[in-house]
Amino acid sequence: MGCGSCGTKTADGKPSGCQSNGGCSSGGCNRINVFNWLADIPLSDIGKPYPILEIAFNNGSRKDFFRNNTHHIFEKGSWVAVEGTSGFDLGQVTLTGELVKLQMKKYGVNESSELKRVMRPAGERDLEQYNNSKKRERDTLIRARAIAKELNLEMKIAEAEYQADGKKVTFFYTADARVDFRELIKVFASDFQAKVEMRQIGARQESAKVGGIGSCGRELCCSSWLSDFKTVNTTAARYQNLSINQTKLSGQCGRLKCCLNYELDTYMDALSIFPENADSLEMATGRAFLQKKDIFRNLMWYSFGGSSKQYPLTIDRVSEILALNSQGEKPEDLEAVEIQVKHKDPEKTVDMGFVNDVGQLTLSSLSKSARKKAQQAQQQNKQRGGQQQGGKQQQGNKQQQAKKQGAQPQQAQAQQQNNQQPKANKQQNNQQPKQQQGQQNNNQPKQQGNQQPKQAQQNNNNQQQSKERGQQEGKQRQQQQRQPRPQQQSENKGQQQGEQKNQQSREQKLKPEQGQEQKQQEDNNRNRPPRKKNNNRPPQQKDDKGQADTPKEQ
């Protein structure tokens, strides 16, 4: 990951646990290193070291070859000053000797080509100037991104790298299309007071500069050892029977993982044994389609159209069926292989069926969400059922209340009628003493004439009582006709019986009260003193019916 990201570095910027004082022999403090397995071999007296060195800059993110014309012999990890753009730059030696020839051949660099030269070993003043320039890189990167955003340029600046003497700054950026940054360079040059160089890189180079940990748990290949990036296609995943899942096949850079090409050659060699043009087989029951090739067991999995069941066949059986199909014959049976896994207990065996060895996406999360939705739906249905039952109960209660309210006015009418009877009796009792006083004042013939209206009043009272009884009987008949069906009669029987009992108890209570009131009025009338005779009273006049008009009190 580089010395800059080491957690044990000292004030000088060097890791305290590094035995080579800043240059790990294992290459852990630098990126994309090559192990120099010829470093410890001594040179002969006649032999001279190879004059070209491989030097890394910015913790190994950029490497280049330089010619060593000095008489110094440099070792891996030593700091040197090399030629730069109108100045000098500092770097670390990563490879020396005969291995440099192989690296140059790999990258296509000729020995006779013009190469920049190594000037001198780095001194303290050079390192101090180098550290000061590195401190400016973070602020410069933030300012450069802000300027690019102000100019509305569709580009992403990934890294800013200063030359050791601060006379040049290089910006590495990524963009999907061509970017016109002529105006941008002018603004950068005026703000940073240095020569500006713009380099476009790809998404994989960007992830190599940033670094990180891959899904395998190790450091990214592009930031640790991989330097040449080859194209990766989805066909590599298909040859390896991997599920075409974009989230699992893509790396940190957003492209397909480079490791898909690592084992592709092995899979291609293994697939060469399988028969060609075996995508479908003609059977008597229908056409079987190829689903998977298992190179570890040398099996081919087929399934019929409209069925999810898969049948494993051996390579020899598939070749036989293809030969029969070429002759126009259709076999009746596939003769699938039974796959079983031996258990520790020899009596127990497990039928494997289709084995998922490629790490396809599991549907456990989807099944959990489906279960939750089903449970929520059941709860909602229960709540709706409870609400419907509650609504039915409320409707039944409302009907009962309406029936009670309809029965209440009937009870009130009966009470009013019962209350009118004592009032009529009171009026009769009030009229009797008045009539008695008139009879005492008048002669005997007048008393005989007064007896007739008394008998008529009694007859009227009897008629009223008979009418009231007839009305009560008619109301009871109407109630019986309004009674609900036999299903509802059982529910309302108790209520009607209770209402009748209440009416009877009220009538029984009113009868003794009426008798007591009549007795009290008679006692009061008896105890009253007789009034004086008024001889000046005019004679009573009789109506057409023969009834005498009683005198009204003034």
pLDDT at residue 506, rounded to an integer: 73
pLDDT of 211 > 80? The answer is yes
User: Is there a single domain that holds both residue 157 and residue 88?
Assistant: no
User: Is there a single domain that holds both residue 31 and residue 109?
Assistant: yes
pLDDT at residue 154, rounded to an integer: 92
| Residue 288 pLDDT class (50, 70, 90 cuts) | very high
Q: Which two tokens stand for residue 273?
A: 């044994």
Query: What mean pLDDT is predicted for residues 292-302?
Result: 90
User: Is there a single domain that holds both residue 26 and residue 111?
Assistant: yes
Do residues 438 and 550 lie in contact, with contact meaning Cβ atoms separated by under 8 Å? Answer: yes
User: Is there a single domain that holds both residue 301 and residue 255?
Assistant: no
Domain closes at, from 256, 272, 288: 272
**Residue-wise over 148-178: b if at least 16 C-beta within 10 A, else e?**
beeeebebebbbbbbbbbbbbbbbbbeeeee
pLDDT in tens, 27-81: 445 566 777 777 666 665 556 778 899 999 988 788 899 999 888 888 888 999 9
Residue 1 vs residue 124, higher pLDDT:
124
User: Is there a single domain that holds both residue 185 and residue 264?
Assistant: no
Candidate from 103-107, 402-406, 515-519 with smallest mean pLDDT: 402-406
Which residues form the domain of 195?
130-201
pLDDT at residue 30, rounded to an integer: 57
pLDDT at residue 198, rounded to an integer: 93
User: Is there a single domain that holds both residue 240 and residue 190?
Assistant: no
Backbone angles phi, psi at 186, to 5 degrees: -65, -40
Q: Is residue 257 part of a domain?
A: yes
pLDDT at residue 527, rounded to an integer: 60
Q: Is residue 192 part of a domain?
A: yes
Domain closes at, from 122, 144, 176: 122
| Residue 502 pLDDT class (50, 70, 90 cuts) | confident
User: Is there a single domain that holds both residue 23 and residue 90?
Assistant: yes
Q: Is residue 260 part of a domain?
A: yes
Candidate from 361-370, 424-433, 518-527 with smallest mean pLDDT: 424-433
Query: What mean pLDDT is predicted for residues 86-100?
Result: 89
Mean of pLDDT over the chain: 75
Percent of the chain with pLDDT over 90: 29
User: Is there a single domain that holds both residue 21 and residue 118?
Assistant: yes
User: Is there a single domain that holds both residue 22 and residue 101?
Assistant: yes
User: Is there a single domain that holds both residue 62 and residue 87?
Assistant: yes
pLDDT in tens, 421-470: 544 454 454 545 444 444 444 444 444 444 455 566 676 777 777 777 87
Q: Is residue 454 part of a domain?
A: no
Q: Is residue 407 part of a domain?
A: no
User: Is there a single domain that holds both residue 68 and residue 137?
Assistant: no
Q: What DSSP line would sit under 328-384, residue for residue?
A: T---S---PPPPEEE-SSTT-EEE--S---S-PPP-HHHHHHHHHHHHHHHHHHHHH
Domain closes at, from 80, 99, 122: 122
Nearest to 479 by CA among 403, 418, 398: 403
Q: What DSSP line would sit under 204-217, residue for residue?
A: HHHHHHH--B-TTS
Task: Specify the number of domains making up the chain.
Answer: 4
Q: Is residue 503 part of a domain?
A: no
CA dihedral angle for residue 396, residue 398, residue 402, residue 408, rounded to 10 degrees: 100
| Residue 9 pLDDT class (50, 70, 90 cuts) | low
Q: Is residue 504 part of a domain?
A: no
- Most confident range, picked from 66-75, 193-202, 350-359: 193-202
Per DSSP, 94 falls in state E
Q: Is residue 422 part of a domain?
A: no
Do residues 60 and 53 lie in contact, with contact meaning Cβ atoms separated by under 8 Å? Answer: no
User: Is there a single domain that holds both residue 249 and residue 284?
Assistant: no
